[in-house]
A and B are shown apart, each in its own frame.
Chain A
Amino acid sequence: MKRLFTSTVILAAIAAATPAFAAPDTMQQTHNPVAIGMFVVFVAATLFITKWAARKNHSVSDHYAAGGKITGFQNGWAIAGDYMSAASLLGISALVFSSGYDGLIYSIGFLASWPIILFLIAEPLRNLGRYTLADVVSYRLKQRPIRAFAASSSIVIVLLYLVSQMVGAGKLVELLFGFSYTWAVLLVGALMVVYVFFGGMLATTWIQIIKAVLLLAGAAFMAFMVLSRFGFSLNALFSQAIAAHPKHAAIMRPGGLVSDPVSAVSLGLALIFGTAGLPHILMRFFTVGDVKAARKSILYATGIVGIGYALIIVIGFGTIALVATDPHYHNANGSMIGGVNMVAIHLAHAVGGNVFLGFICAVAFSTILAVVAGLTLAGSSAVSHDLYANVIRKGQATDREELRVSRLTTLVLGVLAVLLGLVFEKQNIAFIVSLTFSIAASSNFPVLLLSIYWRGLTTRGAVCGGTLGLVSAVTLTILSPTVWVQVLGHAHATYPYEYPALFSMIIAFAGTWLFSVTDSSRSAVEERELFDNQLVRCEIGVRTALSKT
């Protein structure tokens, strides 16, 4: 295994070193030696961590959950690292850059999902599950159908999320380090496979922790430098931003993001409940030892993510004030170099020069690596633990076999992620992040919530309702103006609203209820009877001597 690790790392290093530096000629920062230097240091550090973690990565429990030995404090940072994707730093600052106040709306929704997870999901999840959310829902439901459903919907979410991260990574690395897009995507794919294949959850966790620390430190420095330009007066910053922005004072008011009430509520529902259905986030709760540590992780994560978003909002207004009118960051035709998503990177240069620019480039890249590693692990565990070990082998697979399948899946996911990244290079994928949240809120979340709190839930109800939610979220997104008109080029959208969650969640909950209450099979009766015993384990987290017989 060690030799395999070394040779893979060498291969990845060659892949990273050989690309013709086919730099896009519009970018003045290509060949930034500081950026490339910091990037190399970061990658070397993560590979060193992976090597260290690989020595401790023996069993299925190590691989999926770091043996349950992560502390609440560490897990809080890791959750923040898993959760704050490149969409947070670059996407939200870009949203503030283009429409001001609207950037706050997204970040408030992303943060507000954490109390919901804490109050309703985290403790039962920790007490009832081992490695995947399917463990929880299959506690009293039929193993094979429910795991097949939960694994499928988790894989759909993971793949969509991976597409958004891979395309973002490809564009970012192309721009920052001067690699071609193809090489950039290959590099990200190779690194994420190495991390997860060898280091499992332990390596993934530490990469996420380091990324979160770097991201928070970078964002804090950038926000500090922005405020220092304005004598630490928010009003002075806002005044300058209003003067610089073409929309002027409108940037201080809610704008077009949530113009109609249905879209507003739909987006709100997707943001606040979607996180509770994201498999890579839920998986993090299995890495801590008990419910107390799970709670502590959320307390730290909420604090870290909240501070991070507050800083990113300041950074966003900083980009309006300092980058928007500076010709240095614009092409000859007046467009932003690298597109609007790069404004935070330009701001790093504006307030901290080349060295800080290099640092923020490395942070942005590490952000993507940490998220794709978490996604890959969640996807591979859904395949190996749910589909292979429990659906195909009916629980008879050995640890060794399950681990082998998990690693094989990691390789497959790496190849798939690279291919999808290449296919979607030129596509407008802005809708994908909200689509993943909508799917998670309409498939995994209803099934998970009802399995914990509703005695009446049966296997048939969970599988039918969850599938209806998933299908309706995808269908409504395709029919919405964002995809039907803007991506597919049709004249009018069949579904008039931007986001599907309001309807797809109602369909999911109603479908689950209907198919459960009409289920009078013998197994349905048993599943309802088992609810009481599930309640005991869910609440006090231990099986008593009697129930073990």
Chain B
Amino acid sequence: MEHTAASPVPGLDDPPIPRRQVTRHPELDDPRFRTLVRERRTFAWTLTVVMLTIYFSFILTLAFRPAMLGHPIVSGQPMTWGIPVGFTMFVVTFALVALYVHRANAVYDMMAAQVRRGVEP
């Protein structure tokens, strides 16, 4: 469900952090927090690398081997490999987004909620 109007956004109205008297957040010593950070960041950066690899493979193919994408799929017909490859790029982009959203909703939100509950009274 969406955020409701009644509950304010968590933490938004906090005063700015006071300088020179840094109090360490207790969550930092919670092993579940460290697991959450490690797992989510590994997943997010892995997907980033996947996206960048796919995207720059496409761009570099354009730059170095344009003929590969310009080759007709069926000889004599106008459709070249570049067309389905290009549209597949759209689909892959959306699929990666959907994959991340699914995992974040299913796993990371729950882990974050546990960490929050664990420290709050």
- Seen from chain A, the residues whose Cβ lies within 8 Å of a Cβ on chain B are 67-69, 71-73, 101, 104-105, 108-109, 111-112, 114-116, 118-120, 123, 127, 130, 139-140, 143, 234-235, 238-239, 241-242, 249, 252-255, 258-261, 264-265, 267-268, 272, 288-293, 295-296, 298-299, 302-303, 306, 309-310, 313, 395, 526, 529-530, 532-533, 535-537, 539-549
Q: For residue B11, which residues in chain A have a CB less than 8 angstroms away from its CB? A: 127, 537, 541-543
| A268 interface neighbour in B20, B25, B59, Cβ under 8 Å | B59
| B94 interface neighbour in A255, A302, A530, A535, Cβ under 8 Å | A302
Q: For the complex, what is the distance from the CA of A160 to the CA of B109, rounded to whole Å?
A: 39
Q: A253-B66, A265-B63, A541-B10 are in contact. Are A547 and B25 (CB under 8 A)?
A: yes
Chosen A-B contacts, 25 in total, with CB atoms closer than 8 Å, are A69-B5, A108-B89, A111-B90, A116-B52, A118-B100, A123-B104, A252-B78, A253-B66, A253-B80, A264-B60, A267-B59, A268-B59, A288-B3, A289-B4, A295-B105, A526-B19, A532-B28, A536-B25, A536-B27, A541-B10, A544-B26, A546-B119, A547-B25, A548-B14, A548-B15
Interface residue count on the B side (C-beta < 8 Å) = 73
Minimal Cβ-Cβ distance residue in B for A395: B16
Q: For the complex, what is the distance from the CA of A108 to the CA of B40, rounded to whole Å?
A: 26
Q: A298-B97, A542-B10 are in contact. Are A530 and B115 (CB under 8 A)?
A: no
Contact with A along B77-114 (1 / 0, CB 8 A): 11110110011011101101110110011000100100
B97 touches A112 (CB 8 A): no
Q: For residue B31, which residues in chain A have a CB less than 8 angstroms away from its CB? A: none
B10 touches A546 (CB 8 A): no
Q: For residue B12, which residues in chain A have a CB less than 8 angstroms away from its CB? A: 68, 130
Minimal Cβ-Cβ distance residue in A for B119: A544
Q: For residue A540, which residues in chain B have a CB less than 8 angstroms away from its CB? A: 27, 33, 36, 112, 115-116
By secondary structure, the B interface counts as: helix
Q: For the complex, what is the distance from the CA of A264 to the CA of B62, rounded to whole Å?
A: 8
The A/B interface has a contact count, at CB < 8 Å, of 220
A306 touches B90 (CB 8 A): yes
Q: For the complex, what is the distance from the CA of A549 to the CA of B21, rounded to whole Å?
A: 10
| A108 interface neighbour in B9, B20, B90, Cβ under 8 Å | B90
B27 touches A544 (CB 8 A): yes
B62 touches A254 (CB 8 A): yes
Q: For the complex, what is the distance from the CA of A130 to the CA of B12, rounded to whole Å?
A: 7
A261 touches B9 (CB 8 A): no
Q: For the complex, what is the distance from the CA of A254 to the CA of B85, rounded to whole Å?
A: 12
| B22 interface neighbour in A238, A288, A299, A533, Cβ under 8 Å | A533
Q: For residue B94, which residues in chain A have a CB less than 8 angstroms away from its CB? A: 302-303, 306
Minimal Cβ-Cβ distance residue in B for A117: B97
Minimal Cβ-Cβ distance residue in B for A114: B97
| A292 interface neighbour in B8, B78, B109, Cβ under 8 Å | B109
Minimal Cβ-Cβ distance residue in A for B115: A540
| B82 interface neighbour in A104, A533, A549, Cβ under 8 Å | A104
Q: For residue B116, which residues in chain A have a CB less than 8 angstroms away from its CB? A: 540, 542
Q: For residue A104, which residues in chain B have a CB less than 8 angstroms away from its CB? A: 82-83, 86
A242 CB, min distance to chain B CBs, angstroms: 5
Q: For the complex, what is the distance from the CA of A303 to the CA of B63, rounded to whole Å?
A: 28
A261 touches B60 (CB 8 A): yes
B101 touches A296 (CB 8 A): yes
A118 touches B97 (CB 8 A): yes
Q: For residue A119, which residues in chain B have a CB less than 8 angstroms away from its CB? A: 44-45, 47-48, 51, 100
Name B20-63 residues within 8 Å CB distance of A: 20, 22-28, 33, 36-37, 40, 44-45, 47-48, 51-52, 55-56, 58-60, 62-63
Task: Kindly name the residue among B3, B7, B56, B116 whose own CB sees the greatest number of chain A CB atoms within 10 A.
Answer: B3
Known: A253-B70, A302-B97. 11 other contacts (CB 8 A): A71-B2, A101-B70, A114-B93, A254-B69, A261-B64, A306-B91, A530-B17, A539-B40, A541-B11, A545-B121, A547-B17
Q: For the complex, what is the distance from the CA of A116 to the CA of B45, rounded to whole Å?
A: 9
Q: For residue B55, which residues in chain A have a CB less than 8 angstroms away from its CB? A: 108-109, 112, 268, 272
A420 CB, min distance to chain B CBs, angstroms: 32
B90 touches A544 (CB 8 A): no
Q: For residue A116, which residues in chain B have a CB less than 8 angstroms away from its CB? A: 48, 51-52
Q: For the complex, what is the distance from the CA of A115 to the CA of B19, rounded to whole Å?
A: 35
Q: A68-B9, A119-B47, A295-B101 are in contact. Are A264 and B25 (CB under 8 A)?
A: no
B90 touches A309 (CB 8 A): yes
A115 touches B93 (CB 8 A): yes
Q: For residue B51, which residues in chain A have a CB less than 8 angstroms away from its CB? A: 112, 115-116, 119
